[in-house]
């Protein structure tokens, strides 16, 4: 859960906030989880919904993303965290549209099948497949690995 949260939020501390909110919501709605279904998929679905709400709310407030520069400031302390934050991959991921980023994370990092990932996101499998390809191509271009 932390890995997905950090990937979505693009920052470890934001990721942990997102995790905390997800756990709270999952606990408060735990009777809604259906036995026999995957608990992790259910939790991931809650998480990405919270993240989308938060992203929208932030846009409404007119806040800009401060993650990148905040990351640089953490780096200014010479802290280990800078290794995560300044990575090319994080910067490239941050530039992907939300729907492509979550598709890439769910399949390429979390190892979900297209069907499971599509269920978490709530879209058809074909849509998930094409978002993944677009996100992957954009990442490769950003990382200079395009073929």
Partner 1 sequence: MTITPEELAAFADGELTGADKERVAAAIARDESLARQLEAHCALKARLAGHFAPVLEQPIPDRLTQMLTNDVKDEPGAANVVDFAVAREERAAKRLLPAWGWGGAVAASIAAVVVLSTYSGEPGPGYAGTQIAQMLDAQTIAEQPTDADKRVLLSFRNRDGEFCRAYNAAGEGGIACRDAKGWRLEATGQGEVGGKAQYRMAGSDREILEIAQEMAVGEALDADAEVAARKAGWRD
Residues that bind partner 1 (CB under 8 A): 2-3, 6-7, 12-14, 16-21, 23-24, 27-28, 54, 57-58, 61, 63, 66, 68-80, 82-91, 104, 107-109, 113-114, 126, 129-130, 132-133, 136-137, 139-140, 143, 145-147
In the bound state with partner 1, the residue whose beta carbon lies nearer, of 17 and 38, is 17
Q: Which residue, among 101, 17, 20, 91, has the nearest Cα to 58 in the 3D structure? A: 17
CB 52 within 8 A of CB 46: no
Least distance (Å) between residue 57 CB and partner 1:
7
> DSSP assignment of 27-42, as one string?
HHTGGGSPTTS-HHHH
The pair of structure tokens assigned to 91 is 């910067």
Structure tokens at 52: 């989308």
Nearest approach in angstroms of CB 119 to partner 1 is: 14
Least gap, CB of 78 to partner 1 (angstroms): 4
């Amino acid at each position: 859960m932390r890995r997905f949260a950090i990937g979505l939020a693009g920052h470890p501390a934001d990721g942990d906030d997102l995790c905390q909110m997800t756990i709270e919501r999952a606990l408060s709605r735990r009777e809604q989880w259906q036995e026999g279904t995957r608990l992790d998929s259910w939790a991931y679905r809650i998480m990405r919904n919270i993240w989308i709400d938060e992203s929208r709310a932030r846009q409404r407030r007119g806040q800009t993303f401060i993650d990148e520069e905040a990351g640089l400031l953490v780096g200014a302390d010479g802290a280990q965290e800078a290794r995560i934050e300044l990575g090319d991959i994080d910067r490239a991921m941050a530039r992907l549209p939300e729907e492509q980023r979550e598709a890439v994370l769910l399949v390429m990092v979390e190892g979900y099948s297209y069907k499971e990932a599509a269920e978490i996101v709530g879209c058809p499998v074909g849509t998930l497949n094409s978002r993944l390809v677009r996100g992957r191509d954009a990442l490769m271009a950003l990382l200079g690995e395009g073929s």
